[in-house]
Amino acid sequence: MFRKVLPTVIAFATLAASALVAVAHDSWISKGGYRNAAGEWCCGTLDCSSPERIATTGSGWVINGNEFVPYDEAVPSLDGKVWICRRPNGTRRCVFGPPPNS
């Protein structure tokens, strides 16, 4: 019985995971077609996220306690959150954030 049900469970799990990725990536960032100063698309597959820990300083944000992002590197965020889109090697491709003092 288990051998007959397992392929169905795996197929359903794969489909559900694909749907979650599509919903998560169907955001204002991907719909907006944003590019950075080098002309790269900001949003590729699973490369944009909103950090959990953000501290605000006079000139930028400190992300997760160890990464500084200057305000002047960010494009205004439509949802008021800080979003960072990264290249496959982990470097920043694009940053979105609320204007300082907003």
Q: Is the pLDDT of residue 13 over 60?
A: no
The CA distance from 29 to 42, in Å, is 8
Model confidence at 99, pLDDT cuts 50, 70, 90, reads: confident
Please give the average per-residue pLDDT across 81-85, as a whole number: 95
The CA distance from 62 to 100, in Å, is 13
Q: Is the pLDDT of residue 17 over 90?
A: no
Residue-range domain boundaries for the chain: 2-97
φ, ψ of residue 60 to 5 degrees: the values are 175, -165
Tokens for 68, please give them.
Answer: 């500084």
The CA distance from 98 to 81, in Å, is 6
